[in-house]
């Protein structure tokens, strides 16, 4: 019995010793993988993304590593929660792609990635995982309660003269007399005038791209990106970009980032050493003709965007749209390459986190591989369920535009995951309908029937509406420089179940009438944004009475719209045009907004009994612009051509 008792004690003692040794061993292992960094070491030319974040739903990360002969090296990492899953070599031996897994328990911190070569030499890169500023669900995108101010930064305001020229870049000219040269506007110029934008009533700012465009000419517009992780120094730096986002948030405003997944600029750093043979579409043609590269040798896009939906499409036509280059200066990216696809998705997520974005605008949406675009938008919306993306589909056919919206009942089963397509069809309908003389099938009926097409959209209030932008003739020019027409168009757009966008300068009647459609003229300098401007639109100095009146009009409509639940999310009722007038009603709860568009030059009286179903009889309404009140009775007298905006909120 005593022997048995001692045996039990021995077993117990051994168990305790084993347990203590195991704990000690685990602690040693933990210390081995912590790898505390005392000095940052960067001997690698490029590692992208330049940093990442902990706490994502998707625990995967793929690093692009660029360094001379890095394909001969074996990478290793010792950091708790981070493991190398797979290493991929590329066609070029100067690249490695490393698949990492970042466990959900991984803590923020820095760690070294060691690259060991066959001869025993080693190169090291210090990488950082950062904490996130907020949870995924707290990234709130733009919606129908917002009004978006679109800016071409180079032409808006020059807030910092010191960054105008960078002699290390290909284009160093600043020439405000040339509409296709750089003019010097920058991020600081936008920051300096946030109050102006906010006071107008806008809630969101969309600048065209500010990433590096190291191109020989026309680099001002930003759509030929040559580094997807670097702000163009002529616009400022990353700190200023972050400051812009922060300053907007302080005003309860949002920042939209303009991104380009379809193409890069031919000056992109990877064009000198492409990682794979299929990194670009038609890459072999480019490489075969690189010494004689021009419009003739380039295989350009056929721009037949309907090939994405056409059930009878030929493979040649589909390929011509998706794989042809936008221009010879804009290499077409092949998103079917899985490494490039991952690169683009991670780049978008990196910018969302880095800037705390309130949305993304994706350029040339129907040109890339459409299955990739579904994956791209899906990855973002999966991580950020309350986020917003708008895609540019330049089609005047609502069937095509609606195809790209999330939740569309597409017969081919395609799901885009895209919240907001751009409403080019309604833009065209508004301009044509306001310009045309009234008849059975022309004039205001274009607006009515354009809105009636909303049955096709999965979510009409998430469609992105505009009257002009950086690529289209300015609305003041399109509406024949008739201010009453501009007010009709703007008032209608701003009371629709839509997300509205206005281009900078519309509020002061900027135009391109001297040469309609000329991009350089469309993107003219904003008066007052540059030194020695004779007119200052920010202060009103030098503006004529019509410009000041338009500023006032937009300010009153937008500031009313900010708090109008009826416009944001109300029921919509409209009546077919009658006697040169068109009535639109938006109602929610006790609030009804009435938009009356009147094309009659002479005074006219309209019988209001036609609108009895709206239920406004005997109610007092206020004119949003003038402040005058009106009792809704049997008739209304309209004394001049234009728009009348009424509300039951007194």
Q: What is d(CA 268, CA 263) in angstroms, rounded to the nearest whole number?
A: 10
Q: Which two tokens stand for residue 332?
A: 């077409």
Q: What is d(CA 433, CA 448) in angstroms, rounded to the nearest whole number?
A: 9
Partnered with residue 573 across adjacent β-strands are 585
* 554 exposure class (CB count in 10 Å sphere: 0-12, 13-18, 19+): buried
The answer to whether residue 36 is catalytic is: no
Q: Which two tokens stand for residue 632?
A: 């809704």
Residue with tokens 């990635």: 113
Identify whether the C-beta of residue 505 lies closer than 8 Å to the C-beta of residue 524.
Answer: yes
The answer to whether residue 85 is catalytic is: no
Phi-psi region at 206: left, alpha or beta (left = phi > 0; alpha = psi -120 to 50): beta
Describe the chain by its helix, strand, coil percentages, rounded to 5: 35, 25, 45
- Which residue out of 332, 363, 478, 512 is catalytically annotated? 363
- Which residue out of 80, 214, 232, 392 is catalytically annotated? 392
Residue with tokens 């032409």: 155
Cis status of the peptide bond prior to 319, with omega within 30 of 0 = no
Q: State the DSSP string of 332-379.
A: BB-TTSHHHHHHHHHHHHHHHHHHT-SEEEESSTTSS-HHHHHHHHHH
Partnered with residue 207 across adjacent β-strands are 151
Q: Would strands 204-207 and 148-151 be described as parallel, antiparallel, or unpaired?
A: parallel
CA proximity to 187, closest of 248, 127, 123: 248
* 404 exposure class (CB count in 10 Å sphere: 0-12, 13-18, 19+): buried
97-100's contacts with Cβ under 8 Å and 24+ in sequence apart are 97/62, 97/63, 97/64, 97/65, 97/275, 97/339, 98/62, 98/63, 98/65, 99/60, 99/61, 99/62, 100/60, 100/61, 100/62, 100/63
CA proximity to 425, closest of 449, 461, 442: 449
Identify whether the C-beta of residue 463 lies closer than 8 Å to the C-beta of residue 143.
Answer: no
CA proximity to 429, closest of 498, 366, 514, 367: 498
**In terms of DSSP H, where are the helices of 404-518?**
424-435, 445-452, 475-478, 483-495
Catalogue the active-site residues: 363, 392
């Amino acid at each position: 019995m005593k022997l048995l008792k001692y045996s039990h004690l021995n077993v117990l003692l051994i168990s305790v010793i084993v347990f203590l040794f195991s704990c000690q061993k685990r602690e040693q292992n933990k210390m081995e993988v912590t790898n505390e960094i005392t000095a940052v070491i960067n001997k690698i030319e490029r590692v992208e993304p330049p940093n990442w974040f902990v706490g994502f739903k998707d625990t995967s990360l793929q690093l692009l590593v660029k360094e001379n002969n890095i394909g001969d090296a074996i990478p290793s990492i010792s950091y708790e929660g981070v493991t190398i899953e797979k290493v991929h070599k590329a066609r070029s031996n100067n690249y490695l792609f490393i698949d990492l897994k970042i466990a959900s328990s991984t803590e923020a911190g820095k760690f070294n990635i060691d690259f060991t070569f066959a001869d025993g030499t080693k190169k090291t890169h210090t990488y950082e995982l950062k904490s996130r500023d907020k949870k995924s669900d707290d990234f709130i995108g733009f919606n129908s309660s917002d009004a978006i101010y679109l800016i071409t930064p180079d032409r808006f305001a020059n807030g910092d003269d010191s960054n105008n020229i960078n002699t290390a870049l290909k284009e160093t000219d600043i020439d405000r007399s040339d509409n296709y040269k750089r003019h010097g506007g920058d991020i600081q110029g936008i920051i300096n005038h946030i109050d102006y934008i906010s006071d107008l009533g806008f809630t969101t700012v969309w600048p065209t791209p500010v990433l590096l465009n190291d191109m020989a000419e026309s680099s001002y517009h930003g759509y030929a990106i040559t580094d997807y992780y670097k702000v163009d120094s002529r616009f400022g730096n990353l700190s200023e970009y972050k400051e812009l986002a922060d300053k907007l948030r302080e005003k309860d405003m949002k920042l939209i980032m303009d991104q380009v997944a379809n193409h890069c600029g031919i000056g992109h750093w990877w064009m000198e050493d492409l990682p794979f043979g299929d990194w670009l579409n038609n890459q072999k043609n480019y490489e075969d003709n690189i010494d004689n590269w021009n419009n003739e040798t380039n295989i350009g896009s056929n721009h037949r965007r309907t090939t994405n939906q056409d059930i009878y499409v030929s493979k040649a036509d589909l390929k011509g749209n998706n794989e042809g280059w936008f221009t010879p200066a804009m290499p077409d990216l092949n998103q079917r390459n899985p490494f490039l696809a991952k690169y683009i998705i991670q780049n978008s997520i990196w910018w969302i986190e880095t800037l705390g974005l309130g949305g993304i605008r994706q350029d040339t949406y129907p040109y890339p591989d459409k299955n990739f675009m579904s994956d791209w938008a899906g990855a973002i919306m999966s991580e950020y369920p309350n986020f917003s993306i708008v895609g540019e589909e330049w089609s005047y056919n609502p069937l095509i535009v609606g195809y790209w919206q999330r939740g569309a009942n597409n017969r081919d089963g395609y799901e885009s995951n895209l919240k907001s397509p751009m409403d080019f069809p309604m833009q065209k309908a508004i301009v044509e309908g306001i310009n045309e003389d009234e008849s059975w099938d022309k004039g205001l009926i274009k607006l009515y029937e354009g809105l009636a097409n909303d049955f096709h959209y999965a979510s009409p209030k998430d469609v992105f509406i505009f009257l002009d932008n950086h690529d289209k003739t300015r609305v003041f020019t399109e509406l024949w420089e008739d201010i009453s027409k501009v007010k009709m168009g703007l008032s209608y757009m701003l009371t629709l179940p839509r997300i509205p966008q206005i281009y900078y300068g519309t509020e002061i009647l900027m135009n391109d009438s001297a040469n309609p459609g000329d991009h350089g003229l469309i993107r003219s300098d904003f008066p007052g944004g540059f030194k020695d401007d004779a007119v200052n639109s920010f202060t009103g100095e030098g503006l004529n009475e019509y410009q000041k009146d338009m500023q006032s009009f937009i300010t009153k409509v937008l500031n009313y719209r900010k708090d109008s639940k009826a416009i944001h999310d109300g029921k919509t009722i409209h009546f077919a045009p009658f006697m040169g007038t068109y009535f639109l009603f938006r109602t929610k709860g006790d609030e009804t907004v009435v938009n009356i568009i009147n094309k009659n030059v002479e005074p006219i009286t309209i019988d209001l009994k036609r609108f009895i179903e709206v239920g406004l009889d005997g109610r007092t309404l206020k004119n949003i612009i003038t402040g005058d009140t009106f009792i809704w009775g049997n008739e209304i007298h309209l004394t001049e051509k234009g728009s009348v905006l009424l509300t039951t909120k007194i």
